């Protein structure tokens, strides 16, 4: 578990980090292949397609076929990345993911973009809020939700080294760049992105930037919060959760349903370790959102920095 100081205020989407990683992998490993379900411009796999057209497969609107093809390529010694919007990728191919990838322990990386209500205007049928719970429950899969484009790139590079299935959850919109190129991503390890001892926020994905902003708000009120980026949700970093519990107050933050995702994973560890802490979950509270901007939806559904700060302040007060 490492502490990393924010290096830059630049912004980029995590899907951009994915596109950059694919170029690097394609250049260094001729066995890397990429498949996409007709949305390569949006998923950024078009970067790989332009440079390595003979190793790129546009499968069209045929997600189940794409996953099975990826599994077949993996059995031939390839490292296969199968990509689409999460709502389509998981919604239309869970049987193939379960049997052809997970049960067969295939070297297939399932990479979904456009996560959560953060995609805004695309509306509730495209706002993937249950995907982490799906994939946490599938044997053999690791589950990763990077906080920024730098971490996304490094996470993709790492899972390419590891044989077997992986699921990576990426966003559409730009997020604050938290890390610089010196950052070392480790599967199953959280990182501390802000220090404090009054409470701890454990966040993933876009919610890391919101949690950092909340920590700044709380600092002005005399509450110092430790912020963890829990980018690997499975396997979860148990030691990081135990460290967070030492503050006495733990709040999880995710752009996902509060059931089955990061909050549930952290709650499981707290219960199993019999840790006596004040615990709160921030996320989508088991409902569908509507079409609107990310800013409006985050405010309405209690996902923005102000809502996180209010939840932490209330929890700290109640704990005292």
CB distance 142 to 10 below 8 Å = no
* pLDDT for the residue 278: 97
Q: Answer yes or no: is 96 within a domain.
A: yes
Q: What is the CATH number of the domain that holds 221?
A: 3.40.50.920
Q: Quote the pTM value.
A: 0.94
Could you give the strand order of the β-sheet that contains 278-284, starting from the edge strand earlier in sequence?
A: 2-3, 191-194, 225-229, 199-203, 249-257, 278-284
Instruction: List the beta bridge partners of residue 33.
Output: 80
**Do residues 153 and 208 share a domain?**
no
- Domain of 243 in residue numbering reads as 191-319
User: What's the token pair of residue 36?
Assistant: 């996409």
* The total number of structural domains that make up the chain: 2
For 220-236, write each residue's pLDDT tens digit.
999 999 999 999 999 99
Distance CA 59, CA 135 (A): 22
CB atoms within 10 A of CB 186: 15
DSSP symbol at 103: I
- Residue 1 covered by a domain: no
Return the active site residues. Answer: 63
Closest CA to 134 of 97, 171, 100: 97
pLDDT above 60: residue 238: yes
The verdict on whether omega for the bond into residue 125 sits within 30 degrees of 0, i.e. cis, is no
Q: Which helix (H) or strand (E) holds 211?
A: helix 207-219
pLDDT in tens, 78-116: 999 999 999 999 999 999 999 999 999 999 999 999 999
pLDDT of residue 318: 87
Are 136 and 220 found together in one domain?
no
Structure confidence by residue, pLDDT tens digits, 38-77: 999 999 999 999 999 999 999 999 999 999 999 999 999 9
Residue 274 lies in a domain: yes
Give per-residue pLDDT as tens, 159-172.
Answer: 999 999 999 999 99
Give residues with Cβ within 8 angstroms of 100, minimum separation 6: 67, 68, 71, 106, 108
The CATH number that applies at residue 50 is 3.40.50.970
């Amino acid at each position: 578990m490492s502490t990393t100081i924010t290096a830059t205020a630049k912004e980029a989407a995590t899907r951009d980090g994915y596109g950059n990683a694919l170029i690097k992998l394609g250049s260094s490993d001729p066995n890397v292949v990429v498949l996409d379900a007709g949305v390569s411009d949006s998923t950024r796999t078009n970067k790989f397609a332009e440079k390595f057209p003979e190793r790129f497969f546009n499968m069209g609107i045929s997600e189940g076929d794409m996953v099975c093809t990826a599994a077949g390529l993996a059995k031939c010694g390839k490292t296969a990345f199968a990509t689409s919007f999460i709502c389509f990728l998981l919604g239309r191919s869970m049987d193939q993911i379960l049997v052809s990838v997970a049960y067969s322990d295939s070297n297939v990386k399932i990479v979904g973009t456009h996560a959560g209500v953060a995609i805004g205007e695309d509306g509730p049928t495209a706002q993937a809020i249950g995907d982490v719970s799906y994939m946490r429950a599938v044997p053999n899969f690791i589950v990763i939700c990077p906080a920024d484009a730098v971490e996304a790139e490094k996470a993709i590079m790492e899972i390419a080294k590891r044989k077997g299935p992986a699921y990576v959850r990426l966003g559409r919109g730009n997020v604050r760049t938290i890390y610089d190129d010196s950052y070392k991503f480790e599967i199953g390890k959280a990182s501390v992105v802000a220090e404090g001892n009054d409470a701890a926020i454990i966040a993933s994905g876009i919610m890391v930037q919101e949690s950092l902003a909340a920590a700044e708000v709380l600092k002005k009120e005399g509450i110092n919060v430790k912020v963890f980026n829990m980018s690997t949700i499975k396997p979860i970093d148990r030691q990081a959760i135990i460290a967070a519990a030492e503050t006495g107050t733990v709040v999880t933050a995710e752009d996902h349903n509060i059931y089955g995702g990061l909050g549930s994973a952290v709650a499981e560890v707290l219960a199993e370790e019999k840790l006596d802490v004040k615990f709160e979950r921030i996320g989508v509270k088991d409902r569908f959102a509507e079409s609107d901007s990310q800013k409006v939806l985050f405010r309405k559904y209690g996902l923005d920095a102000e809502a996180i700060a209010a939840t932490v302040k209330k929890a700290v007060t109640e704990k005292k």
